[in-house]
Structure formats: structure tokens, C-alpha cells
Amino acid sequence: MIINKKAYAKINLSLKILKKLENNYHELYTVMQRISLHDNIKICVRLGFHARPQSHPQIKILCSDASLANKHNIAYKAADLFFKTAKVSADIIINIEKNIPNQAGLGGGSSDGAVVLLALNEYFNNILPGNILIELAAKIGADVPFFVKNISCAVCEGIGEKITPVADNLKGRVLIVKPVYNISTKQAFEDWDKFNFTHDFKNDFSALAFYQNKNLREIYNIILDYGANQAELTGSGSALFGIFENIDNARECVNILNKRKDINFCDIFDFV
């Protein structure tokens, strides 16, 4: 059987780091919004094998980005944890067509993992209830529970496991720009603990990122100069977004940003 799914990206409309927990995770308060940028996931399941829970599942990752085709991929971790928890087994090949930039704060890997959890649970006749899927998702990554909920916009708290859907009243288009440089989420949290900037941004990581990389601040200013209602870093970066009411302004901004040598990716998307 072949299962085809879309794994959507997200932006953080706001992100507050509340405190560091004893387990070294950070308690967060963030508003996540899903956008139309997505990876394409194809899961090939070997039929007739799922009735043998004592068997060891064979999980293989294929990816358009060869550097992500390994056991460290969140999609692999999601499948492995699902099989161990549900006590079922199957041989599967997970083929990921990457469109969401990596190390961008757009949740691409987390979304891929969430789609795998949902797809396998659906294949096995919803063997795990929703609350257990959220628990599994939280073990994999802070953004994964939001994607498992499969909703447009939500307030996410704790380490991402406390999710409150909110009405999505946003209008307009969202511009996404990913510079050529990456930001490690792990390093970003370590730097936040060290510096803990006072700032007026909606994302606590913004001040830190702009301090460390002046080009990011330049890109942020350009987005605002072209008429965005809001511009911000998403997640820990390095991608930024701008929300535009005027599509012509957004297109002009894309054209300007794509002329820069330090831009890897820039385009306009919808809220979904």
C-alpha cells in the first residue's frame, strides 16, 4: 500500500521562552500558524505484514536531500516509536520530497514526523488514541504535537504538548525568506540561556539572531519597508516571514530579496 500525504510548514506568530526546566527542556508559550509550503511524503507499506507484532519493522528513509536519509530523521524516529508503542510491525519505506528548508524554524522535520505518526495510525485503524499520539509527538520534538493536531492555528505551551486551537483570523499572504546560513535550535537555546536579551520582538529569538547576524536584521527591515503588517523570525530561525495584505507589495519584496546573494529561498504562501 502507498500512502501520500502533505507535511505543511508553520510560522511562529509569537514565541516566548518562559523558563528552563530541570530536564533541560524549555517551557514555551507560542502561537503557531500553518502555511501552504509543504513537503511531500510517500509511505510504502508492505501489505500483510502488520499482523506480526513480534517482528522487527524495517524502516527505510529516502529523501530528496540525501543528508537527511538516515535514522536521525524525525520521520524515522516517529515510525520507530509508533511501532514500539502500538506493538505492531510492518516494513515501510518513507520517501520525503523536501520543499521546506532545513534549519529554518519552519518545522519541516517535525511536520514530516507528525505526518508519519498520523499516517501509520490511520493505516492500523487508529490503534492509538489522540492523547497517546500527542505524548509520542512530544517525545520527538516540541513542534510535533502541533502538527499531529492537524489544525491551522494554535497556542502551544509547556514543551509543545499543551495545545489550544484558536480562530484563524489572519488575512493576506505570508512571505517566507530563508537565508543561506542556518541556525541550530540547540545552539539558539544555549545562547538564549547565556544572553537573555531584553527586547520588543514577538519572538524571543529575534533579538539574539539579529545581534549575531546583521544580515538577518537587514532582511527584517526590508520586509517591513515593503509594507508587511508583521515581520518576525520564525522559530529559532534562520527563516523570517512577513505578513502582507497587499500581494503586489509582497511580490516586489520577493523580487528585491531574491537579488541578494545571501538568500537561499524566498516565496509567498497562504495560511492553511
**What is the model's pTM?**
0.94
Q: Catalytic: 178?
A: no
Catalytic one among 10, 77, 149, 178? 10
Domain 2-165: give its CATH code.
3.30.230.10
pLDDT tens for 73-131 read 999 999 999 999 999 999 999 999 999 999 999 999 999 999 999 999 999 999 999 99
Lookup result for grid cell 506568530: 13
pLDDT tens for 40-59 read 999 999 865 444 555 678 99
pLDDT tens for 230-270 read 999 999 999 999 999 999 999 999 999 999 999 999 999 99
pLDDT tens for 164-214 read 999 876 777 999 999 999 999 999 999 999 987 789 999 999 999 999 999
Contact indicator for 266, 240 with CB cutoff of 8 Å: no
Q: Any residues with CB less than 8 A from the CB of 70 and at least 6 apart, and which? A: 61, 76
User: C-alpha angle 182/188/194, rounded to 5°?
Assistant: 145
Q: What count of residues does the chain have?
A: 272
Q: Catalytic: 143?
A: yes
Backbone angles phi, psi at 14, to 5 degrees: -155, 155
Q: Cis peptide leading into 67, omega within 30 of 0?
A: no
Give the CATH architecture of domain 173-269: 2-Layer Sandwich (3.30)
Domain boundaries, the chain: 2-165, 173-269
106: Cα separation from own chain's centroid:
4
Catalytic one among 112, 143, 191, 204? 143
Per DSSP, the three-state class of 49 is coil
